[in-house]
Amino acid sequence: MKTAPLILVTASTQRNGAEFYDYSISLSDPYTKAVISAGGLPCVPPCMAEPKLIAEYVRRCDGIMITGGDDIQPELYNPKVPKPLKSTCGEHDPVRDLFETILIQEVFLQRKPLLVICRGMQMLNVCLGGTLITDLPTQRASSLNHGRLDLKDKIVHEIDLHAGALMTSVLGLSRIGVNSSHHQAIDILADSLKVTAVADDGVIEAIELSDGERSRLPYMIGVQYHPERLLETEPIHFELFRSFTAASALYRDNK
């Protein structure tokens, strides 16, 4: 009997955690439950920006999933962001930003399957040279409200999936309903990425490696929404975790 593929799952951070109010990591259960249900074994590392430690975690794991959470430092993608716009950002953690930057670099060096969700998709774009919309409500006026934290487990709007995209093949649909709980989004897309889904107002909702870059990783899908929170009501989203875990198992078996 084959063992479950080991999936590295990143966590958010807290300045004051539950025990002794120390700097801590925090991860919503739906992420790890989705991995387990899809046949994977989640591994949640500490948020420590230590290159050798991160490289060893990536080496031992079969796939990497980068999750959602707080805003990314504006200085990483726009050093000259105006102060009024910068003030719209929520809390951010430079340690997590650096940790995930090193992690993404290591994933590409070791060529592991990668699934990035919400903030994770934004972080990937920034690491590869893209930029972000710092505040959707003020920079991109729209009839869609992308920040519906009150409906985090519900369908908020629909997105169109592009023909020929890996995500489209995985889900078998060209239009799906998604939740929406973000106030930032991709602005300028990194050259090595391509858009694979958009909302009706043009906000980028999914990405993957561009055709010329696809061979750099055995699997890569990025989504702006939170599929892990829709599995009970919209089970089609489970296929993302199933395909990612299967790709991670295939990588393990072929290495």
| 157 in catalytic set | no
Pick the catalytic residue: 118, 183, 208, 237?
Answer: 118
- Provide the CA 40 distance to its chain's centre, in angstroms: 17
User: In this structure, what CATH number is given to the domain that contains residue 130?
Assistant: 3.40.50.880
The whole domain housing 235 covers 6-254
In this predicted model, what pLDDT tens digit does every residue of 141-172 receive, in sequence order?
777 888 898 999 999 999 999 999 999 999 99
Contact between residue 13 and residue 67 where contact means Cβ atoms under 8 Å apart: no
Q: Does residue 142 fall inside a structural domain?
A: yes
CA distance 98 to 94: 6
Pick the catalytic residue: 146, 157, 226, 237?
Answer: 226
Locate 57 and state its tokens. Answer: 């975690």
- What pLDDT shows up at residue 1? 58
Q: Does residue 131 fall inside a structural domain?
A: yes
Distances (CA, A) of 130 to 115, 122, 186, 207: 18, 9, 8, 12
Number of domains in the chain: 1
Q: Does residue 58 fall inside a structural domain?
A: yes
- Provide the CA 134 distance to its chain's centre, in angstroms: 17
- What pLDDT shows up at residue 146? 86
| 118 in catalytic set | yes
Locate 67 and state its tokens. Answer: 């999750």
Q: Output the tens digit of pLDDT for each of the chain's 255 residues.
A: 579 999 999 999 999 999 999 999 999 999 999 999 999 999 999 999 999 999 999 999 999 999 999 999 999 998 888 888 877 877 789 999 999 999 999 999 999 999 999 999 999 999 999 999 998 888 887 778 888 989 999 999 999 999 999 999 999 999 999 999 998 999 999 999 999 999 999 999 999 999 999 999 999 999 999 999 999 999 999 999 999 999 999 999 987
| pTM (2 d.p.) | 0.96
Question: Which residues are paired to 42 by β-bridges?
Answer: 7
Q: Does residue 1 fall inside a structural domain?
A: no
CA distance 36 to 20: 30
